[in-house]
Amino acid sequence: MKSKTPKESHTIMNELVLPNDTNTMNNLMGGRLLHWMDISAAIAAQKHCNRNVVTASVDNVSFQHPIKLGNVVSIESKVTRAFNTSVEVRLDVWAENIPSGRRLKSNEAYYTFVALDADGHTVPVPELTPVTTEDVALYDGALRRRQLRLVLAGRMKADDATELKALFFGPAAK
């Protein structure tokens, strides 16, 4: 299986915030944004895996700025690391008021997807080869993020999270 770069999975999805997408404050509803983010991240994961994928987890999503009615939402997604049968996808969400030319970063998040075959069984995914300095930093941090996800989900003991322990207690903690 040929290794891929983050650029090969890069996806930009744009949506116009319409009245049906907003709450009573004329801000984009958080659930609608999460839906759009899931779609964008899934496209990036599918590009990397060349398979159908399902969402396995969504990390903390914090809203830095409200997205208003009439804004254009741009969601940029790319795979940051591949594991055995899963990939981590980084998302950056931008809101743009086109008439004013104002563009603000609203969110960032990490989603994890698992690749499936036609029968719904997990399958191996291609390795990821980071290219840029940013790619390398995201790739290096992915193992810590993965261990944190697994510990929080109760699928890994905190004592086994060597990358997290090293982060808090230094390399001797591994």
- Based on the domain organization, do 122 and 134 belong to the same domain? no
Q: How far apart are CA 171 and CA 174, in angstroms?
A: 6
- Residue 138 maps to a domain: yes
Structural domains in the chain (count): 2
Q: pTM value?
A: 0.90
Rounded average pLDDT over 8-27? 98
The two three-digit tokens of residue 122, written as one number: 């997990």
- Based on the domain organization, do 81 and 65 belong to the same domain? yes
Q: Which range marks the domain in which residue 167 is found?
A: 130-174
pLDDT in tens, 113-164: 999 999 999 999 999 999 999 999 999 999 888 988 888 888 778 877 777 7
For residue 31, the domain's CATH number is 3.10.129.10
Rounded average pLDDT over 33-50? 98
- Based on the domain organization, do 96 and 10 belong to the same domain? yes
- Residue 1 maps to a domain: no
The two three-digit tokens of residue 33, written as one number: 């944004």
- Based on the domain organization, do 108 and 137 belong to the same domain? no
